[in-house]
Each structure stands twice: as C-alpha cells, then as structure tokens.
Amino acid sequence: MSDFTIVESLFSRLLSALNGVFSVSEIAEVSGFVDVGEYGLALDTAVDLFVEEEKVASDDVIVLVQSLAIAMELPAVEYSDRLRAADGE
C-alpha cells in the first residue's frame, strides 16, 4: 500500500470518527482539503477545530491523528498534545 493510499484511508476513518462531534460544515471543510490533496491543511484544520471549538477528541480520534501525522512525517506528539490540551488534560 502506498503512502498516499494509507493517508487517504486514515483520513476516511478520521472523517467517519468525526461524525457527531463536528458539524456537517466542519467535516466538509476538512474533507475539502483531503479531496484536493492538501493533507497537511486537512490535519491542521481538524486539530484546530478541536482546539478552537473546545471539542473533546476520543482516544480513537487521537490515535488516527497520530497515525496520520506519522504517515505524513509530521510530529505526531505535537498533534496529540494539542488535542489533549483542548480536552483539558
């Protein structure tokens, strides 16, 4: 499986996990970046929405975000730390 396929698969799982947490427009915003291959912006936007809107990320979402960061060679710990800080941990 190529890195592109892995990232697409992880984003698909993340977007599904966001149902019920994000509004339809928030999901559409993240999905729009994924659709045009702007994966970094998509991940940053998802994490920013958790932080700015004070939403609680489930453990599954945190794992998916970490997996995406690793697949994209980004600092996974920074993303998970931001999500946990938004949750007040």
pLDDT tens, residue by residue, 4-41: 899 999 999 999 999 999 999 999 999 999 999 999 99
Q: What pTM does this model have?
A: 0.93
**Mean pLDDT (whole number) for 34-51:** 97
Residue where the block lists tokens 């045009």: 36
For the chain, the domains span 3-86
Compute, in degrees rounded to 10, the torsion defined by CA atoms 71, 17, 43, 52: -150
pLDDT at 88 over 90: no
